[in-house]
């Protein structure tokens, strides 16, 4: 695997024993903690047959697995292929991006199962897991992948593993505060995943600021084939985002609605991204970085409100605005952040995740406030 360049500590971090020791010790810790705490939830346990009778369910298809597993697999692809390949656009870090993303995500999902389990699925001393926990673990790791985008090419795998440990912990605490104490609804994670992940990553990259990085612009450039690989990442994120936003919504109409809203928002976002990308370039050409990233902002921004009665045209409006905000951010804000605030945002996560995530929170609040009995029905 390729080594991260421009790193004073390169020799140390790649010392032969450090990475192996950390990986092995942490994995042993995971096994012990899983052994003490983690068990199958009722719908994955062999006693489900009895459970079914008690709950008067007539068919195995009522198992949560059949409601959520297809969405889970789509989210899984977004985390490992989507985020992994999205970051291959840099000339020198293609394999590193995919490989390190693989490593941090594989570790992160284990730690996330534990952290989120203690906060949300802890019953009589055990964490009971099912497919919904797997999705939530993937979500949590998604926020780490976002943060990774800001520091791409500046860190060793060990630093990434340490960052993952901290970020997952903080994610679970933050999520607990927002969802359980403040009773915020955020099924698609505009705030808990995207805004949180982005600001975490921007903080880390600020700390790791290296003025000499500027000089190596040529290594940061993209090449033709890298761009096609990056488009694989973009498209898988774009296509599966409806699954991301609907994966943990309530069964039935809520999942259905979340998928439709996200589909609409993303479609609108592509058009405004292309429009502003062409408009803000000197020669009217389209900028590949915008197409690879800003087209996704619409999915981020309907995360909170997708399962609400946002309506299809409301989704189009959100997507319309986010395509513009995100593209403008790439053109004007990213250079400003780097030159003035010394924040080197390699993948531009501030434009793709931080701002659209904030917009998503606001849209969610407005949509929730506009909810009336008439719109949601008496049962809703």
Task: Tell me which residues in 140-179 interact with a second copy (CB under 8 A).
Answer: 157
* Distances, alpha carbon 149 to alpha carbons 10, 146, 181, 242, 246, in Å: 20, 5, 30, 22, 24
Helices (H) and strands (E) in the chain, counts: 19, 3
Kindly state whether residue 118 participates in binding a second copy, applying the rule CB under 8 A.
no
Among the residue ranges 53-61, 163-171, 200-208, 328-336, the one whose residues contact a second copy (CB under 8 A): 53-61
Contact residue for a second copy among 170, 184, 239, 365 (CB under 8 A) = 239
Candidates 169, 63, 46, 47; CA nearest to 118 is: 169
- Closer residue to a second copy, CB minimum distance, 46 or 182: 46
Kindly state whether residue 240 participates in binding a second copy, applying the rule CB under 8 A.
yes
Kindly state whether residue 217 participates in binding a second copy, applying the rule CB under 8 A.
no
Q: Round to whole Å and give the CA distance between 128 and 262.
A: 30
Question: Could you give the string, one character per residue 286-325, with x where binding to a second copy holds by CB under 8 A and - elsewhere?
Answer: xxx--x---x-------------x-xxx--xx--x-----
The number of residues that bind a second copy (CB under 8 A) is 124
Contacts of 159 (CB under 8 A, 6+ apart): 13
- Closer residue to a second copy, CB minimum distance, 64 or 338: 64
Q: Which two tokens stand for residue 361?
A: 């929170």
Beta bridge partners of 128: 39
Contact residue for a second copy among 83, 93, 107, 244 (CB under 8 A) = 107
- Closer residue to a second copy, CB minimum distance, 328 or 337: 328
Candidates 192, 53, 44, 11; CA nearest to 112 is: 192
Kindly state whether residue 121 participates in binding a second copy, applying the rule CB under 8 A.
no
Q: Round to whole Å and give the CA distance between 74 and 259.
A: 12
Question: Could you give the string, one character per residue 4-33, with x where binding to a second copy holds by CB under 8 A and - elsewhere?
Answer: ----------xxxx-xxx-xx-xxx-xx--
- Closer residue to a second copy, CB minimum distance, 122 or 209: 122
């Amino acid at each position: 695997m390729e080594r991260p360049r421009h790193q004073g500590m390169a020799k140390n971090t790649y010392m032969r024993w450090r990475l192996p020791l950390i990986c092995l010790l942490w994995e042993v810790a995971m096994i012990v903690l899983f052994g003490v705490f983690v068990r199958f939830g009722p719908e994955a346990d062999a006693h489900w047959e009895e459970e079914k009778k008690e709950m008067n369910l007539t068919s195995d298809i009522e198992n949560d697995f059949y409601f959520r597993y297809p969405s889970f697999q789509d989210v899984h692809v977004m985390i490992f292929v989507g985020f992994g390949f999205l970051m291959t656009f840099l000339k020198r870090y293609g394999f590193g991006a995919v490989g390190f993303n693989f490593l941090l995500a594989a570790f992160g999902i284990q730690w996330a199962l534990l952290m989120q389990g203690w906060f949300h699925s802890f019953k009589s001393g055990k964490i009971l897991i099912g497919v919904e926990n797997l999705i939530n673990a993937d979500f949590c790791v998604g926020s780490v992948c976002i943060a990774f985008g800001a520091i791409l090419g500046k860190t060793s795998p060990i630093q990434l593993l340490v960052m993952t440990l901290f970020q997952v912990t903080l994610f679970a605490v933050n999520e607990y505060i927002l969802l359980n104490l403040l009773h915020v609804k955020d099924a698609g994670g505009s705030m808990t995943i995207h805004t949180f992940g982005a600001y975490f990553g921007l903080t880390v990259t600020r700390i790791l600021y290296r003025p000499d990085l500027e000089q190596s612009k040529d290594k940061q450039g993209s090449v033709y084939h890298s761009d096609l690989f990056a488009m694989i990442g973009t498209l898988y994120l774009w296509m599966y985002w409806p699954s991301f936003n609907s994966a943990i919504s309530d069964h039935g109409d809520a999942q259905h609605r979340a998928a439709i809203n996200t589909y609409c928002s993303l479609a609108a976002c592509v058009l405004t991204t292309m429009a502003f990308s062409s408009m803000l370039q000197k020669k009217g050409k389209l900028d590949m970085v915008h197409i690879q990233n800003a087209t996704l902002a619409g999915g981020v921004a309907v995360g909170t409100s997708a399962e609400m009665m946002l309506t299809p045209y409301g989704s189009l409006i959100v997507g319309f605005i986010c395509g513009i905000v995100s593209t403008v951010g790439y053109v004007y804000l990213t250079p400003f952040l780097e030159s003035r605030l010394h924040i080197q945002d390699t993948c531009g996560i501030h434009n793709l995740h931080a701002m659209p995530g904030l917009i998503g929170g606001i849209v969610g609040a407005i949509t929730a406030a506009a909810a009336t009995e008439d719109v949601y029905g008496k049962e809703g």
